[in-house]
Structure 1
Amino acid sequence: METKSLYISSLEPSAGSLIVTMGLMELLKRKLGNVAFFRPIIADSEEKDHDIDFVLEKYDLDMRYSQSYGYTVHEVETMIADNRLNELIESLIVQFKALEKNYDFVLIEGLNQASFTQSLDFDINLIIAKNIGSPLAVVLKGKDKSLKEVVDEIAIETDVIKNAGCSHFANFVNRVDEKVLNELSKIKQIIPTYYLPEVPELDTPTVNEIMNKLNCMLVLGEQKDLKRVVKHSKIAAMKLENFLEHIEDGDLIIVPGDRADIVVGAIATVQSRNHPNIACLLLTGGMTPSKVIKDLFTGYNEFPMPILSVNEDTYQTAVRVSDVPATINVNSERKIALAMGLFSKNVDVKNIEEKITSVSSSTITPMMFEYGLFERARSNRKKIVLPESNDERILRATEILLRRNVVDIVLLGDKDEIEHKVASLGLDLSNVEIINPQKSELTNIFINEFYELRRKKGLTLEAAKDAMTHVSYFGTMMVHMGYADGMVSGAIHTTGDTIRPALQIIKTKPGISTVSSLFFMCLDTKVLVYGDCAVNQDPNANELAQIAISSADTAKMFGIDPKVAMLSYSTGSSGHGEDVEKVREATKVVIEKRPDILIEGPIQYDAAIDEKVGKKKLPNSEIAGKANIFIFPDLNTGNNTYKAVQRSSNAVAIGPVLQGLNKPVNDLSRGCLVADIINTVAITVIQAQENNKG
């Protein structure tokens, strides 16, 4: 039976319902573009409900906030006290049915039972779920509970749901102690049950959460540093030399704003490799560092940590800091990655996906495409080498990728330097592999292999030694010799620095002599492929044909059924000239070499993408108006077009993705964002997976 809704319910606060909601929502958004989120009851508050606000923004749901909830706790308790429970349920059914009619799937999150008064002696979530006909996913809190307590709680909930006549979808037991977790995994349950371990960081506030809750002023530092986790808070009342003996990694130091000695000393610890890394300085009493001190710190190329200021005194501030709850917000990329990695590692996502819905969608949103990348990468993890470990964006992307459990990463560089930079940024890369090309035992192996590969081309042994001092060559050799499955570079190197070693070492696939690139252009409801927009300046007809063939094969690799448009300034036989003839000849080459590829050319962009125009200009074409792969005649046209579409339509441009090589190596733009690096690494993993199949 097809399931088009699911009701997430918990009895206790802080059970981790939002993490389950996020995991299921991400699963749904991989497959469906039209998903609704509904909370039948929300807490009494003047502020918007946190979970609704988070889910609507994070998952870009096409619905208004007012559609996403039914009643407040006060309204529900009043209606029940007035014997109007049936009226309450009927109203919620009407709201739910409206969502069910207009959306492919409705994910429902109940309010934990502890949020209601003791006078409500029944599980309101159970009654609502039963009446709207939605299966129940129960979230239980395992923190500080023994094995017996967890097992008994599962059994009780299972019996209650069965006796109520509800459909019991699954149990999620969050925040389980490590010792209990090992024993629980041995116990078979009738209902699918998933156990997620306690992860302290998810229950720890960030600097940003403390700043917002206390309404602090950011004195020095950058927004990116506000993502640091605050593991402890400490009041600095001692002299500097004594204070330094008590600091730990992740400390929030609370200190009066006129204690210049502590301020300067704290900053010095972040620069030193001999001291722990402080998360933040919080200055009290409304006092900020003098101009002389500020001038000292603004002289840094990168300021090492944030400094906040509040008006309250030190004692009041310390009390308020201790009361700040840990939350997950839309900008909490590190926590979100950690939570989703935790979910995917401990939950049988494929089993849930098979049960949850058989609905399919022809729509492909950017989010569906990106989440699909993560899931495919995770299904068969590969090892990707990132040579540019001295770039902060690479380190931040590495942390997100490792937390999401989608890939194994190798960073190239000096271990001590990388670890110091990672610590100073407040990141956690404890699971990353670091190789120093200057000291690695692989270096001599790579030198000899490179020399053998290129000596007939005139390469000397000395030149081979010199090449291996460059991280791009070293990383490429790792891929060539199987020490890594792929490489991503280009954040600080040119495209030539990335492609040249690949051409010399990895070489092109059989039958392909042209390395080219494409961009996945993620529009609101579909994904298009643009090629070549980054590598070949003015390809001839044969090269253009190879770009088309490679682009079609790459698109198919990512679930896109290729319909190729060979673009020109004229359509069909209407135009003539050297440029048009090149495109016409390239189209013929593709048809001869790969008759399995649906292709049309020459064709103008409007005729390729718009069905009305396509039918008018090429009425008998299978491609006109339906193309999803657009091959540009030269780099000038391709590069300008992809940027114009990206900027004018808010499309997400993922790439450039290199194609035609024997093993995957991908290039980054030097202006790339952390998200671009993450997507490119995931794409490289999928290319490596497909390579292994071949």
Structure 2
Amino acid sequence: MHTRSLYVISKEPHAGSLFVSMGLMEILKRQFKRVAFFKPIVAAEEKEEDIETVLTLFGMDQRSEEAQGISTSEAEVFLARGEEAKLYETLISRFESLHDRYDFVLCLGFFDPHLIEVVDFDLNLRIAKNFSSPVAGVVSARGKSLEAAQEDILLWERVLKEEGLKPFAFFINHVQQTLACDMDIVKPFKGVPCFPIPYEEEIDKPTVLDLLEVTGGEILDMKDERRLEQTINKSLIAAMRPEHFLRYFEEGDLVIVPSDRSDILLAVLAANQAKGFPSASAVVIGGEMDPAENILQLLASDEMFRIVLIKVPLDTMQIAMQAQKMVARITPKHRRKTALALGHFAKYVDTELIEKSLAKSELDIVTPAMFLHRIFARAARKKERIVLPESMDDRVLRAAEIIFRRNLAEIVILGEKASILDRAGILGIDLEGIEFVDPLESGYLERFAQKFYELREAKGITLDEAKDTMKNWTYFATMMVYEGMVDAMVSGATHTTRETVLPALQIIKTKPGIDIVSSIFFMCLDTRVLVYGDCAIVPDPTPSELAQIAIESAETAKAFGIEPIVAMLSYSTGESGVGEDVEKVREATKIAQSLRPDLLIEGPMQYDAAIDPEVGRRKMPGSRVAGRATVFIFPDLNTGNNTYKAVQRATGAIAIGPVLQGLRKPVNDLSRGCSVEDIVSTVAITAIQAQKS
């Protein structure tokens, strides 16, 4: 019987069960079209934050009310009356309602200290048993020895055995680095996956958002909303002279200062601008009176000063006591922490092993969300080195942080490191751990110029011209790909397609047997992903070029898990049509079939015959492609470009691309109107291409 639900349970507070649920949900969204989230017991009379986080983060079409079982107060009433069976009956009814309408249900167990006083925590296990759900156990190893962590796992073994429950996997969270490498920790559960996950400090730190939640402070100045996601190192009451304050001031500190201490505010301003000095996560101004207006104007007028200023009408000690109540949370507003958490989970948990253990969907369906999640998972399995030459664009820097945090690729950014980090600091972006290469100071210019001269000497280029060309960062980055210093390049946020593709053609060149660079779009429809080519690069391909586009598009589809069934499109189907355009497609089909007899390639055929099984049977009876096509090859750019845009607008499909193909090593072009999310997905796609090159 297929596993169609999981129940995530922890035995202690702050063990990381939400973190594990997020990681599992990302895997489930790759495997199933419709996944539901369910929390059987929720906090009474409060908005359930965990539910909102999961539903929002994964763009789920489930209402919040559907994800809630009963409140803790309702549970207490059932138990107080001795109506435990009725409690299970109520929860099973709500769970089964989801189970019938969704392909998979992920449940998150509760932990409420007040309820624990009334009933044993084993209630979670009994709920899982009544749901017939395998258990994903979460154990915290915070501050524990190896022996203590092992004892926790053995306790789980005994409890699950007593309840007759099947363990699906165990996640040992907050593991010290020394324990994470000790495989003895997994021995108690032979045959059951057990994943030690090292402690990640930033996930466990509160943010400025959490500070606002506990203090109810008023924001006096905020130039960038993303600074609210800044993590807090520690609280520092600044009631001393500036020179003494700076002695204790560390990066990421929350500075709590009385409203009349303008000297401290100016010291924070100066430290923010000076190299070698720390920057605060936020500044909280305490007291009933307002800070000096001219000081606030000074701070507000400085664009480099991006630290959030908050006013709380309490004295500094009271504010510090309030700050102690902060809890590190993960909510939809914590975007940076969310990216880090998902990346951390994927880095230390064998997602392929989990996927093999999960039920395989019997429906041949791939949604846009599933496709994107699969791309991210594929990219993370073998991180490739991707160079981004456009460090002058803020979108590129924001995308680089997300890519790094999600472990999608190893990023190399071109430019002067100090300047980029200064800009990143202003934007509230953490680029720590990312590699920087300054083309002008790298020492590679002469070597690259000589190599470019050798490659283009026959075209009449001089050595001086080659040196000037290498000062163009796109050419420099392309040469890094050619020389094997990086695996691929993504550019185009601030450059045209020609400025991205031309260096690749001149330096990297096309694959053997391929004369042109072409492109495809992944067209993510509601229940499947199709490949369209070429819709962006080649205006009017010859029959030979069209055959190459078909073969390359089939290989691209295969690389991304799409079975290549190729339809060569025209305005006529089969042998009935005549005319120059139809003959071009007919000849291209024969060339492609002769070059790659192993591929399913047929044509010419009309779009409706290629995509609709009934129409395909009527127009091309006996065809192995008609009605089943996954790769659609258009006869020219005019047809392809207009068709992909028409399908996109008419159906709401998500078009991912253009993805370039035909080069010896991957280079991909961005639209100048691209979003941060577009850059992230393009880098992930490029990384997968690099894995295959």
What TM-score do you get using the length of structure 2 for normalisation?
A: 0.90
Check whether the contact 1:382–1:408 (CA below 8 A) recurs between aligned residues: yes
Task: Provide the rounded CA distance (Å) in 2 between the counterparts of 1:311 and 1:202.
Answer: 26
Q: Is the 8 A contact 2:281 2:308 kept in 1?
A: no
CA distance in 1 between partners of 2:468 and 2:444 (Å): 15
Once residues 626 and 217 of structure 2 are traced to their aligned partners in structure 1, the CA distance between those partners, rounded to angstroms, is 57
* Aligned CA distance change for structure 1 residues 501 and 122 (closer, same or farther; 3 Å): closer
> Which amino acid in the other structure matches residue 159 of structure 2?
V
What do the CA deviations read for 1:179-200 (whole angstroms, capped 9, x no partner)?
4445575662224322212212
Residue 19 of structure 1 corresponds to 19
Q: CA deviation at 1:583?
A: 4.5
Q: What is the aligned partner in structure 2 of residue 195 from structure 1?
A: 196
Partner Cα separation in structure 2 for residue 524 and residue 281 of structure 1:
47
- CA spacing shift, 1:653–1:341, aligned 2, 3 Å: same
Contact 2:31-2:360 within 8 A present in 1 as well: no
Deviation at 1:474, TM superposition (A): 1.9
Mapped to 1, the partners of 2:400 and 2:597 lie a distance apart of: 41
Query: Could you tell me how far 1:502 is from its partner in structure 2?
Result: 0.8
Q: Deviations over 1:163-213 (max 9, x none)?
A: 222212222121123344455756622243222122121122233343455
SS in 1 for 2:397: helix
1:385 aligns with 2:384: no
CA–CA separation in structure 1 for the residues paired with 2:426 and 2:102:
46
Cα offset for 1:360? 4.3
Pairwise CA distance, 1:558: 0.7
In the alignment, is the contact (CA less than 8 A) between 1:177 and 1:198 conserved in 2? yes
Q: Is the 8 A contact 1:6 1:108 kept in 2?
A: yes
1:299–1:80 distance in 2 versus 1, CA, 3 Å: closer
2:448 to 443, 446, 449: 446
> For 1:234, what is the secondary structure of its paired residue?
strand
Instruction: Please show how residues 576-615 of structure 1 align to structure 2 within 5 Å.
Output: 582-583=584-585, 585-599=587-601, 601=603, 603-606=605-608, 608-611=610-613
How far residue 79 of structure 1 moved from its aligned partner, in angstroms, is 0.7
Mapping of residues 439-518 of structure 1, within 5 Å? 439-518=441-520
**Residue 683 of structure 1: aligned partner:** 685
Higher alpha-carbon deviation: 682-691 or 533-542:
533-542
Distance in 2, Cα, partners of 1:286 & 1:361 = 65
3-state DSSP class of the match of 2:555?
Answer: helix
Change (3 A) 1:85 1:527: same
Q: Aligned equivalents of 1:38 and 1:677: distance in 2? A: 33
Paired residue for 2:671? 669
Structure 1 distance, partners of 2:312, 2:433, is 41
Structure 2: where are the runs of 5+ without partners?
none
Q: Of the candidates 397, 407, 410, which is equivalent to residue 409 of structure 2?
A: 407
Cα distance, 1:391–1:248 mapped onto 2, change above 3 Å: farther
| CA 1:104–1:425: 2 relative to 1, 3 Å | same
- Mapped partners of 1:15, 1:563: distance in 2: 47
- Residue 187 to residue 631, structure 1, CA distance change in 2 (3 Å): closer
Query: What per-residue deviation string (whole Å, max 9, x for no partner) do you get for residues 461-503 of structure 1?
Result: 2222222222222221221122211111112222222111111
Q: Where in structure 1 are there 5+ consecutive unaligned residues? A: none
TM superposition shift of 1:85: 0.7
Name 1:39's counterpart in structure 2.
Answer: 39
In structure 2, do the counterparts of structure 1 residues 258 and 106 end up closer, same or farther at CA, with 3 Å as the change threshold?
same
Aligned equivalent of 2:152: 153
The answer (yes or no) to whether the contact 2:172–2:197 under 8 Å persists in 1 is yes
Contact 1:273 1:420 survives alignment (8 Å): no
Identity of aligned residues (%): 49
Q: CA deviation at 1:263?
A: 4.8
Distance in 1 between residues matched to 2:471 and 2:236, nearest whole Å: 45
Question: Following superposition of structure 1 onto structure 2, how do residues 47-446 of structure 1 map, counting pairs within 5 Å?
Answer: 47=47, 49-112=48-111, 114-183=113-182, 188-190=187-189, 191-211=192-212, 214=216, 216-217=218-219, 219-238=221-240, 243-255=245-257, 263=265, 265-283=267-285, 287=290, 290=293, 294=297, 297=300, 300=303, 304-310=305-311, 312-315=313-316, 316-446=318-448
CA RMSD in angstroms, aligned pairs only: 3.1
1:29 aligns with 2:26: no
Higher mean C-alpha deviation, range 680-689 or range 384-393: 384-393
8 Å contact kept, 2:299–2:305? no
Structure 1 residues 360 and 688, CA gap change in structure 2 (3 angstroms): farther
Partner Cα distance (2:243, 2:648) in 1: 54
Q: Tell me the alpha carbon deviations over residues 203-259 of structure 1, each in whole angstroms, 9 at most, x when there is no partner.
A: 222333434552644633123333322223334445556544543222333446676
Of 515-524 and 627-636, deviating more is 627-636
Q: Distance in 1 between matches of 2:45 and 2:650?
A: 39
8 Å contact kept, 2:180–2:196? yes
C-alpha separation between the residues in 1 aligned to 2:238 and 2:639? 61
Distance 1:237 1:613, change over 3 A: farther
**Aligned 8 A contact 1:10 1:138 in 2:** yes
Contact 1:136 1:170 in 2 (8 A): yes
Q: CA deviation at 1:402?
A: 2.0
Conservation of the 8 A alpha-carbon contact between 1:286 and 1:310: no
551-560 or 232-241: bigger deviation: 232-241
Deviates most, 607-616 or 62-71: 607-616
Aligned counterparts of 1:151 and 1:78: Cα–Cα separation in 2? 36
Residue 630 of structure 1 aligns to a residue in which SS? strand
596 and 212 in structure 1: CA distance in 2 versus 1, 3 angstrom threshold: farther
Q: Normalising to structure 1: TM-score of the pair?
A: 0.90
In the superposition, relative to structure 1, how do residues 329 and 570 fare at CA in structure 2: closer, same or farther (>3 Å)? farther
CA distance in 2, matches of 1:129, 1:527: 35
Partner of 1:628: 630
Q: Distance in 2 between matches of 1:189 and 1:475?
A: 50
Q: Is the 8 A contact 1:587 1:599 kept in 2?
A: yes
Change in 2 beyond 3 A, CA 1:212/1:574: farther
For 1:136 and 1:626, the matched residues in 2 are separated by 40
Residues 392-416 of structure 1: CA deviation (Å, up to 9, x unaligned): 2222222222222232222222232
The residue identity in structure 1 corresponding to 2:440 is Q
Q: Structure 1's 333 and 570: CA in aligned 2 closer, same or farther, altered over 3 A?
A: farther
Report the CA distance shift for 1:345/1:645 in structure 2 as closer, same or farther (over 3 A): same
The 1:321–1:634 alpha-carbon spacing in structure 2 relative to 1, beyond 3 Å, is farther
Residue 508 of structure 1 and its aligned partner are, at CA, apart by 0.5
Q: How many residues align?
A: 688
Q: Structure 1's 470 and 258: CA in aligned 2 closer, same or farther, altered over 3 A?
A: farther
Question: How far off its partner does 1:640 sit?
Answer: 4.6
Query: In the superposition, relative to structure 1, how do residues 287 and 638 fare at CA in structure 2: closer, same or farther (>3 Å)?
Result: farther
The residue type equivalent to 1:443 in the other structure is L
Is the contact made by 2:220 and 2:311 (CA closer than 8 Å) also made in structure 1? no
In structure 1, what is the Cα distance between the partners aligned to 2:150 and 2:407? Answer: 28
1 CA distance for matches of 2:100 and 2:541?
51
Query: Structure 1 stretch 308-317 or stretch 455-464: which is displaced more?
Result: 308-317
